[in-house]
Amino acid sequence: MNKMPKWADAVLIPLISILLAFFFSGLVIWAIGKDPVVAIKTMVQGAFGSTSGISYTLYYATNFIFTGLAVAVAYHARLFNIGGEGQAMLGGLGVTLVCLAIPWPHWTLALPAAMIGGALFGAGWAFIPAWLQAKRGSHIVITTIMFNYIGAALLGYLLTKVLKVKGSMLTESARFPEGAHLPNFSEIFAPIGINFSPNAPANMAFFVALLCTFAFWILIWKTRLGYEIRAYGQSETAAKYAGIAPARIVIIAMLISGALAGLMAINNVMGEAERLIDNAVEGAGFIGIAVALMGRNHPIGILLASILFGFLYQGGAELSFWESIPRELVVVIQALVIMFTGALDNMVRMPLEKLFVALNRKKEA
């Protein structure tokens, strides 16, 4: 007795929601006196028009895959983790500490170690809000937001007082050793005859992100833990009945979530900057929310949404350069995507449901 076919629910509704978000974004561009069509052309050109552009797009997309998966895994347990930003910041700290710890001989050794460092620190930063939610009932939305602020303060302190290179004016850590350098797309693809711009940032981390996407799918739909996470997310009372300990699921789901957010650092810190800089996350933790909502917390959806936001981010940079539209336009688009796909879902759904019921009636008649 479904009111709507499955494909409409899975594809049509998100698609319409995104189009609505883009329409209103276009209105904003128009309202500040710019031409939306020119803006889109600039963005497409900037994001896909060159190997450098593609590389940037995929570099940003890599960030968003990690943070999007992070939000999604928590969301399957009905936990709204807004702390991806802070967890990714701390992940950066973990990656930095690992990379600077020893003079790494080769990236194949440095990468797994850095992944562990980033994941541990990210998970660690998610642990306290998770524990407070599980044991004290503190609202995880507010505590994770607070931990973003606290994380920023902590990193600010470490960068100015502890990690800063003596004598340097810059609030950043020392450069990572040569052996911790991750191959970028130009180095990876040159042997098979594809030439990527050597200065563009997409790197090995992209493939780690793809791997995580696959692992996410296995975890959520094929394992007992995933089963328990989803069960808890749907009904806490039922989970208790089935012998699933709520506190355990809350903490584990948040640890995985924080770890995924922390893993982002192998892309932006290790793969791109090769040192820890101030505000390295650049809001990617928040974009993860939009990506997860838009991708319906499904790995394929998250992958596609990440690439879309990678495009927006890179295109947005081009916009600010060529059209002097501030990069915060991406934040506006992100907000509209969250609003339409997350909160105004019913606005699209209700008329569509009516439409399908009417169509079915006609068919029967």
Partner 1 sequence: MSVQTDTGRQATAAPTASAAPAIELRGISKAFGPVQANKDISISVAKGSIHGIIGENGAGKSTLMSILYGFYKADAGHILINGQEVHIADSQEAISAGIGMVFQHFKLVENFTVLENVILGAEDGGLLKPSLAKARKLLKQLSDEYELSVDPDALIEDLSVGHQQRVEILKALYRQADILILDEPTGVLTPAEADHLFRILKGLKEQGKTIILITHKLREIMEITDTVSVMRRGEMTATVKTHETSPEQLAELMVGRKVLLRVDKKPATPGKPVVEVENLRVIDEQGVERLKGISLEVREGEILGICGVAGNGQTELLEVLGGYVNGTGTVRMNGEEIDLSGKHSNGQTRRARGIAHVPEDRHDEGLILEFQAWENMVFGYHHAPEYQKNALLMDNAGIKAMTQASMDKFDVRPPNPKLEAKSFSGGNQQKIVLAREIERNPDLLLVGQPTRGVDIGAIEFIHQQIVALRDEGKAILLVSVELDEILSLSDRIVVMFDGQIMGERLPAETNEGELGLMMAGITDTNTNGEKAQ
Partner 2 sequence: MDYLTIIQILDSSVRLATPLLLTCLAGLFSERAGVVDIGLEGKLLAAAFLSGAVAAVTGSIWVGLLAGVAGSLAFSMLHGLASITFKGDQLISGVALNFLAAGLTVVIGQSWFKLGGRTPSLSGDGRFEPWNLPFSDALAKIPVIGPAYDELISGHTALTYVALAAVPLSWWVLYRSRFGLRLRAVGENPGAVDTAGISVVRLRYMALVIAGVLCGLAGTYLASLAAGFVKDMSAGRGYIALAALIFAKWRPWYALSATLLFGLLEAIGNRYQSIALGDFTIPVQFMQALPYILTVIILAGFVGKAIPPRAGGQPYVKER
Contact residues toward partner 1 (CB under 8 A) are: 1-3, 218, 222-224, 227-228, 230-231, 234-235, 237-238, 240-245, 353, 357, 360-361
Q: Which does 199 bind (CB under 5 to 8 A by kind): partner 1, partner 2, none?
A: none
Distance in angstroms (rounded) separating the CA atoms of residues 302 and 333:
17
Cβ contacts of 99-107, under 8 Å, gap ≥ 24: 99/176, 99/177, 99/180, 99/270, 100/173, 100/174, 100/176, 100/177, 103/177, 103/179, 104/177, 104/179, 104/180, 105/179, 106/179, 107/179, 107/180, 107/181, 107/182, 107/183, 107/204
| Minimum separation from the CB atom of position 344 to partner 1 (A) | 21
| Minimum separation from the CB atom of position 131 to partner 1 (A) | 19
Of residues 310-349, which lie at the interface with partner 2 (CB under 8 A)?
324-326, 328-336, 338-339, 342-347
Q: Torsion-angle region of residue 338: left (phi > 0), alpha (psi -120 to 50) or beta?
A: alpha
Q: Which does 357 bind (CB under 5 to 8 A by kind): partner 2, partner 1, none?
A: partner 1
Distance in angstroms (rounded) separating the CA atoms of residues 312 and 44:
9
**Of 205 and 289, which CB lies nearer to partner 2 in the complex structure?**
289
Residue 40 found at the interface with partner 2 (CB under 8 A): no
Residue 43 found at the interface with partner 2 (CB under 8 A): no
Q: Which two tokens stand for residue 197?
A: 């711009």
Residue 213 found at the interface with partner 2 (CB under 8 A): no
Q: Which does 12 bind (CB under 5 to 8 A by kind): partner 1, partner 2, none?
A: none
Q: Report CA-CA distances (Å) from 275 to 172, 267, 280.
A: 7, 11, 10
Q: Which does 2 bind (CB under 5 to 8 A by kind): partner 1, partner 2, none?
A: partner 1
Distance in angstroms (rounded) separating the CA atoms of residues 40 and 82:
29
Is residue 111 within 8 A of residue 286, CB to CB? The reply is no
**Of 34 and 76, which CB lies nearer to partner 2 in the complex structure?**
34
Q: Which does 78 bind (CB under 5 to 8 A by kind): partner 2, partner 1, none?
A: none
| Minimum separation from the CB atom of position 5 to partner 1 (A) | 13
**Of 12 and 146, which CB lies nearer to partner 2 in the complex structure?**
146
Burial of 40 (0-12, 13-18, 19+ CB in 10 A): middle
Instruction: Give me the residues that bind partner 2 (CB under 8 A), please.
Output: 28, 31-34, 80, 82, 128-129, 132, 136-139, 141-143, 145-147, 149-150, 153-154, 156-157, 160-161, 286, 289, 293, 324-326, 328-336, 338-339, 342-347, 350
